[in-house]
């Protein structure tokens, strides 16, 4: 993947306010499974912070990630920063270059196209199987997720979108395929953020999701499969258009 222009992260460039989770000591508890409270580790907090900055574009594609500067800014040792970078590399958000360091992965049209090509082959098949043995409880929860997505900020929309699709597919009882699809959705989240800031696109996604839930309730696998194919194809077209625009803009000469 091309590396493009790399910019070193400067101290203080990305300000962490006093209300940031990283400045709170001890870390804030979250509700885990069975209602138990779990506390995020320093690594979890750094992963969340770096992921959010990368996905929001606050740290641009191609930027160099300097562990010592992030550790100083976020008030942690280098160890959790190093582990956070390793985890985000596994997610595809960071490239680890031997003898050179870590860099935010560049946007890639080829990558987007491949993600959606695979989704188009896997997800309609999974959905068709799921519709044949759909679970009303899962579909009720899917309706609730759609309502959450309507008001969700861009940084939460991709996670909710996956929750919705998982609820639509898991009745297929194909855990290996579901795991593959989940990985594709996670790798695509940065691109979903570019897409969903557009209000008409958000409304369109709402309508398409509601249609798929309705067809699943009605037990119509052929129509449900076709609706999902249209949904994936439209999302691919929208995101590829945005990525092309961003890549064109990044290729323009920058002012001195």
List, in order of start, the domains of the chain with CATH numbers. Answer: 42-104 (1.10.10.10), 109-251 (1.20.120.530)
The predicted structure's pLDDT at residue 12: 36
The predicted structure's pLDDT at residue 34: 43
- The count of residues in the chain is 256
The predicted structure's pLDDT at residue 252: 46
> Which residues are registered as beta bridge partners of 65?
102
For the record, the structure tokens of 80 come out as 């959790």
The predicted structure's pLDDT at residue 242: 80
Q: Is 163 exposed, middle or buried (0-12, 13-18, 19+ CB in 10 A)?
A: middle
Q: What is the mean pLDDT of each run of 10 residues along the chain (256 residues)?
A: 35 35 40 50 89 78 89 91 90 86 87 93 97 96 96 83 96 96 85 69 92 98 98 92 75 47
Peptide bond into 26 cis (omega under 30): yes
Given a contact cutoff of 8 angstroms between Cβ atoms, the answer to whether 168 and 225 are in contact is: no
The predicted structure's pLDDT at residue 137: 96
The predicted structure's pLDDT at residue 195: 66
């Amino acid at each position: 993947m091309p590396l493009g222009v790399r910019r070193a992260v400067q101290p203080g460039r990305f300000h962490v306010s006093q209300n940031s989770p990283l400045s709170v000591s001890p870390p804030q508890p979250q509700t885990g499974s069975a209602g138990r409270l779990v506390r995020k580790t320093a690594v979890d907090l750094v992963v969340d912070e770096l992921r959010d900055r990368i996905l929001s574009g606050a740290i641009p594609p191609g930027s160099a990630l300097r562990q010592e500067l992030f550790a100083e800014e976020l008030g942690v040792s280098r160890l959790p920063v190093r582990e956070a970078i390793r985890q985000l590399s596994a997610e595809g958000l960071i490239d680890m270059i031997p003898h050179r360091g870590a860099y935010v992965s560049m946007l890639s049209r080829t990558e987007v196209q491949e993600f959606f090509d695979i989704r188009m082959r896997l997800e309609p098949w999974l959905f068709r199987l799921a519709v044949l043995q759909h679970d009303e409880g899962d579909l009720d929860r899917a309706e609730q997720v759609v309502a959450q997505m309507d008001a969700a900020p861009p940084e939460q929309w991709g996670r909710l979108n996956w929750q919705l699709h998982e609820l639509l597919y898991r009745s297929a009882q194909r855990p290996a395929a579901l795991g593959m699809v989940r990985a594709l959705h996670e790798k695509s989240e940065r691109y979903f953020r570019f897409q969903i800031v557009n209000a008409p696109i958000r409304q369109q996604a709402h309508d398409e999701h509601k249609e798929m839930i309705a067809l699943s309730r009605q037990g119509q696998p052929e129509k449900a499969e076709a609706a999902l194919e249209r949904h994936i194809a439209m999302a691919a077209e929208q995101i590829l258009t945005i990525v092309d625009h961003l890549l064109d803009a990044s290729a323009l000469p920058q002012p001195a």
